[in-house]
Amino acid sequence: MVSAGVHSYVVDLATPDTPTLLMTRVCSELGVPQILVNSAGVYLAHSLLETEITYLDEVYAVNVRAPILLTREMVARNIHAGSAARIVNVASVSGQIGSPDAAYGASKGALIAFTRGAGRAFASSGIRINAVAPGIVDTDMARVIPEDRISSYLSDIPLHRLASPEEVSAAVAFLLSEQASYLVGTVVDVNGGMS
């Protein structure tokens, strides 16, 4: 029996074999997890003309490939164990309306499409896959956005402020809860009305 507590693992999700190695380690040390939140992300506020291949590769490796592979590992292990799992992908409003950082917006759009497809594919196995699509959240990641761009975003947000991390985590917690038991492949917008 595993004792309660916090266990942390520092990994590089841009490395292709990390998701499988990480899930193997977690399962051997803690048992098969039933909750996965894919929240890691790369965003540097680069314009399309500033986007170099190394940035594009890193954005897709962390924002798209890693969540897909972690989800694959989670689904495979839960189906094998005959247990249910709940997975939430942290996408972005940028995946719905686009972004000046085109690589980031495209990666989050891919994550939304993955959520919808995988959610439908594994619902009958008792595995729920959903996503949240935050607007701009008041975190260190948002601090790389140029000030003029932040001002423009704020004018487009009916609430005229950034989201707090707690507002996003509340939506994630809801999707992981039994209150969301009938939601499959759903994307919950947490964007203050931004569109």
* Positions marked catalytic: 104
Domain architecture of the chain: domains with CATH:
18-190 (3.40.50.720)
The residue type at 84: A
User: pLDDT (tens digit, 9 = 90+) per residue, 110-156?
Assistant: 999 999 999 999 999 999 999 999 998 988 888 888 888 888 888 88
Distance of CA 126 to the CA centre of its chain: 20
What tokens were used for 94? 């940028």
- Type and span of the H or E element at 186: none
What order do you get walking across the sheet with 127-134 strand by strand? 35-38, 85-90, 127-134, 187-190
Under 8 Å between Cβ of 58 and 14: yes
The pLDDT of 17-30, averaged and rounded, is 96
The residue ranking higher by pLDDT, 81 or 74, is 74
Angstrom CA distances, 168 to 23, 32, 139, 192, stand at: 25, 26, 11, 11
Average pLDDT, the chain: 93
User: pLDDT (tens digit, 9 = 90+) per residue, 3-16?
Assistant: 567 889 999 999 99
pTM to 2 decimals?
Answer: 0.93
Q: Residue 1 has what pLDDT? A: 45
DSSP three-state, residue 79: helix
Angstrom CA distances, 51 to 13, 14, 100, 183, stand at: 20, 17, 11, 36
The pLDDT of 79-106, averaged and rounded, is 93
Q: What is the DSSP letter of 195?
A: -
